[in-house]
Amino acid sequence: MESIISYVKESYNELANKVTWPTWNDLVSNTVLVLVASVIIALIIFVMDNISSVFLKYFFYGN
């Protein structure tokens, strides 16, 4: 049981004193970057899906 308590204390100490947390501005800018990249990738996949759908419809059904 003592080893579990020691582990929790050491983990808290590391998170509180040794970890470098990002600033609010860094956090916001990184979040915006991830959101923009996600939207761009989603749009690329959407366009690729629609193009392949058109080609497959033409291939299987003709006009």
Q: Where are the domains of the chain?
A: 2-61
Supply the pLDDT for residue 63: 63
Rounded-to-integer distance, Cα 54 and Cα 36, Å = 27
Q: What phi and psi, each to the nearest 5 degrees, are found at residue 62?
A: 85, -125
Supply the pLDDT for residue 14: 92
Supply the pLDDT for residue 62: 79
What is the chain's pLDDT, residue by residue, as a tens digit (63 residues)? 889 999 999 999 999 999 999 999 999 999 999 999 999 999 999 999 999 999 999 999 876
Find the DSSP H helices in 1-63. 2-13, 24-61
Residue in the structure block whose two tokens are 């899906």: 49
Rounded-to-integer distance, Cα 11 and Cα 18, Å = 10
